[in-house]
Amino acid sequence: MVIHLSTFFLNLNPIWQSLFAGSITFLATALGAAMVLFFKDINKIIMDIMLAIAAGIMLAASFFSLLKPAIEIALNYETIVWLVISLGFMSGGITLLIGNIILDKIYSKKISNSKISFKRCVMLFIAITLHNIPEGLVVGVAFGAILYGLKSADLIAALSLTVGIAIQNFPEGGAISLPLRRDGLSRWKSFVFGTISGIVEPIAAVLGALLVIKIQSLLPFIMSFTAGAMIFVIIMELIPESQNNKYPGIVAITTMIGFSMMMILELVL
pLDDT digits (tens, 9 = 90+) for 45-64: 877 887 788 788 778 878 88
Which residues make Cβ contacts (< 8 Å) with residue 259, sequence separation at least 6? Answer: 56, 57, 59, 60
In this prediction, residue 116 carries a pLDDT of 45
Q: Which residues contact 74 (CB under 8 A, 6 or more apart)?
A: 81, 84, 85, 220
pTM: 0.68
User: Residue 2 burial (CB < 10 Å; 0-12/13-18/19+)?
Assistant: exposed
Q: How many CB atoms lie within 10 A of CB 81?
A: 16
Cα 19 → chain centroid: 15
CA distance 162 to 25: 7
Taking only the tens place, the pLDDT of each residue in 64-103 is 877 887 888 788 777 889 999 999 999 988 988 887 787 6
Mean pLDDT, the chain, rounded, equals 80
Average pLDDT over residues 202-231: 85
